């Protein structure tokens, strides 16, 4: 498989949110704004790339009986790095996302990529796969957060784009489900092969 195909599959063909419907807890919980969605997406991307590379490098050293627990320990290491870095350098974003950062450890996107791809491929391909899947996830969260922020508060990335208040429902949990449902339908319609 070409490097470009490995990279781009996370954006459309195997997008975690819109196609595979994975990682929906942070998707629905953190996307009250575009900035929150982007922050969570980039944090997940970092963990995905680094854990994919690490799993790829140590895959032959891990016995099959402890493969999944070993992958979780590797993932947890990078999640801890993200959490501590965000807490130190981006405290405002950490205040919003803090509860969801530790949940990256059990995000099925990351463990799934470690098991399905990184444990069977070399480090470079695993890094490219992690980057493509992670950026596809970040794109989905940013899109969802942008739409919710525009409809819910009339702004995007905290910049006001129209006067007045938006519809409060889009900032709340039901708005996440509504917008996600429409985005999944739109992506399905656009990518469906005739």
Note whether residue 165 is domain-resident. Answer: no
Which residue range forms the structural domain that includes residue 62? 3-143
**171 in a structural domain:** no
CB 51 within 8 A of CB 74: yes
pLDDT at residue 13, rounded to an integer = 86
50, part of any domain = yes
- Please give the pLDDT value at position 194: 44
pTM above 0.75, yes or no: yes
Structural domain tally of the chain?
A: 1
Residue 170 lies in a domain: no
pLDDT attached to residue 130 = 96
64 contact partners, CB below 8 Å, separation of at least 6:
none
The answer to whether position 182 is within a domain reads no
Q: For residue 160, tell me if it sits in a domain.
A: no
Walk along the chain (194 residues) and give the pLDDT tens digit of each residue.
788 898 999 998 899 999 999 889 889 999 999 999 999 999 999 999 999 999 999 999 999 999 999 999 999 999 999 999 999 999 999 999 988 999 999 888 999 999 999 999 999 999 999 999 999 999 999 999 999 999 999 999 989 998 878 888 998 989 999 999 999 999 999 888 64
């Amino acid at each position: 498989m070409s490097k470009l195909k490995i990279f781009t599959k996370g954006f459309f063909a195997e997008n975690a949110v819109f196609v595979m419907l994975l990682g929906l807890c942070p998707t629905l919980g953190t996307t009250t704004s575009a900035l929150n969605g982007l922050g969570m997406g980039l944090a997940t991307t970092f963990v995905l790339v680094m854990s994919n590379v690490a799993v790829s490098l140590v895959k032959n050293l891990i016995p099959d009986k402890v493969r999944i627990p070993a992958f979780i320990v590797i993932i947890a290491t990078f999640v801890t790095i993200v959490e501590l870095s965000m807490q130190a350098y981006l405290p405002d974003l950490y205040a919003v996302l803090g509860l969801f950062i530790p949940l990256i450890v059990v995000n099925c996107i990351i463990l799934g990529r470690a098991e399905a791809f990184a444990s069977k491929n070399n480090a470079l391909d695993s890094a490219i796969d992690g980057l493509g899947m992670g950026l596809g996830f970040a794109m989905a969260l940013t899109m969802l957060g942008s739409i919710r922020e525009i409809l819910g508060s009339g702004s995007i990335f905290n910049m006001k784009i129209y006067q007045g208040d938006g519809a409060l429902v889009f900032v709340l949990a039901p708005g996440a489900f509504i917008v996600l449902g429409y985005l999944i339908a739109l992506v399905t319609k656009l990518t469906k092969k005739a």
